[in-house]
Every structure is written in C-alpha cells, then in structure tokens.
Amino acid sequence: MQIHQLRPIHKPKRKKRVGRGGKRGNYCGRGIKGQNARAGAKLKPIIRELIKRYPKLRGYKFRSRERLKIKIVNLATLEKKFKENETVSPTSLVEKRVVGKIGGKIPEVKILGKGKISKKLIIENCLLSKRAREKIKKVGGTIR
C-alpha cells in the first residue's frame, strides 16, 4: 500500500446551508433582510472598526462627553498654591499643575467652596459655586 492509495474511514462533513427552511424557520437565525442576511460578502473589518468607534446613542438625552470635561478645584487648594493678589484662571491653574490638560486643551474650571480662604485673589474665566463666590467676596477678592 502506498500513500496515494490511503482513504479516510469516514465521509467528509458537509457544510450546513443556512436559509432554506428546516428546523430553524424561514430566516434560519440570519434575521430579515440586510447585508448579513444575504449570501456572499459580509461586513468588511475596516468598516467594522469605524462603526465600533462611534459612541452608543441611547435616547434623546444623549450628550457627548466633550461637555462634561469640567475640572473641579476647591478653595483650600487655591489657598495653598496661590499668593496674595494673584490671578486664578484655567491657564494659571494648568501652569501650577493644579489641573491637567484634557486632550491637549485647557479645560473649563469650576471652583467650589470647600475649605477656608484668607487671601485676596483675582478670579478670571472660572465657574463658581454660590458658597465659593460668597467666601471670595467676603475676603475682598474680585471675580471677572
């Protein structure tokens, strides 16, 4: 006996043909219509990668995450990092490394009223809470 005379004992397994009735119903697990229901080409991997990058939109309340990029700073940290009559702005906060950049851009900053403050500070281009605004004005600081 030689190698070319060898034959397998069992018959080769046939490929299952989907979408022709049978036990799985009309559509046989492929759904109705569309690219995935058709024979032949499927979604190309390149397109799939692009689709997977999109954020999931869930309902009308969906907002992109860009709007939520607000950094929070407390008055206690301003007390430690800044001297008398210095200006507090998003750029100065980034320079003093109180706040980091987000995607290479200077973020919006909101100052909250946690902690005590005893220095007069000039605050520019920052969002403020009510308590923070009151404490800064009480000390004699200015808000622009």
pLDDT tens per residue, range 21-68: 667 777 777 788 888 888 876 777 777 777 777 767 666 666 655 555
Residue spans of beta strands (DSSP E) within the chain: 70-74, 87-88, 108-112, 122-123, 127-128, 142-143
With bands split at pLDDT 50, 70 and 90, how would you rate the model's confidence at 128? very high
Q: Which range is least confidently modeled, 64-73, 86-95, 127-136?
A: 64-73
CA distance 42 to 81: 58
Give the mean model confidence (pLDDT) for residues 81-105: 90
Calculate the average pLDDT of the chain. 84
| pLDDT given for residue 89 in this prediction | 93
Q: Which range is least confidently modeled, 14-18, 23-27, 61-65, 126-130?
A: 61-65
Cα–Cα nearest to 120, from 79, 71, 91, 85: 85
Go through the domains of the chain in sequence order and give each one's CATH number. Answer: 65-143 (3.100.10.10)
| pLDDT given for residue 49 in this prediction | 78
Strand partners, 87: 122
Give the mean model confidence (pLDDT) for residues 7-13: 88
Q: What is the pTM of this model?
A: 0.53
Taking a C-beta distance cutoff of 8 angstroms, is the pair 96, 134 a contact?
A: no
Cα–Cα nearest to 143, from 131, 125, 129: 125
